[in-house]
Amino acid sequence: MSKKNNLEKQQLLLPIRHHSPACSYHLKKVINSFNPDCILIEGPIDSNNLMEFMTDEETKAPFCIYSSYDSDIKYRSYYPFLDYSPEFVAIKEASKRNINCEFIDMPFASMIENTDDEYQKISSVYDKDDLKFDINDYTKKLTQKSGLRTFQELWEREFEINGIVKTPVRNKRHSKNP
């Protein structure tokens, strides 16, 4: 077992894709089986006080956290949440279990202040996420071999459409009944 997912230390890191129903499905199953004491989420730390409103029964998705920063230029950022966003699923699961849940990213203002690239300052946090996969030789070859045009098509077919019925690799390797 890797050091990142060392259950003896009671830590589990779960990479997710934003707004992925398949990731949310598997995340909820992992939270149920792992039963964590706390959940840490990618999101602006200065928005932790909003979680109580996000989980209020009167709050209905979709909604977003809005952050702004004004200097010579006005910077704006939106952090959208859908019912099936993994981040929102984690927040709701933590609330149901009455366990600590926190965003752990820098506040939006700190991101702007610590970024020199003007394009990065005005683009969404999510704008470049998918582009990382399109410039990688491995994913380009995998996409071509699959007969698809883009990695996004491959992701949709393999993880979103068929992802719900897949068994996590960890369970296969570490199962008591192979």
* pLDDT one-digit tens code per residue, 84-103: 999 999 999 999 999 999 99
137 — alpha (psi -120 to 50), left (phi > 0) or beta?
alpha
Nearest to 77 by CA among 109, 35, 30: 109
CA dihedral 126, 74, 105, 61 (to 10 degrees): -60
Kindly indicate the confidence band of residue 81, based on its pLDDT and cuts at 50, 70 and 90: very high
User: Residue 173: pLDDT above 60?
Assistant: no
Round to whole Å and give the CA distance between 121 and 119: 5
Average model confidence (pLDDT) across the chain: 80
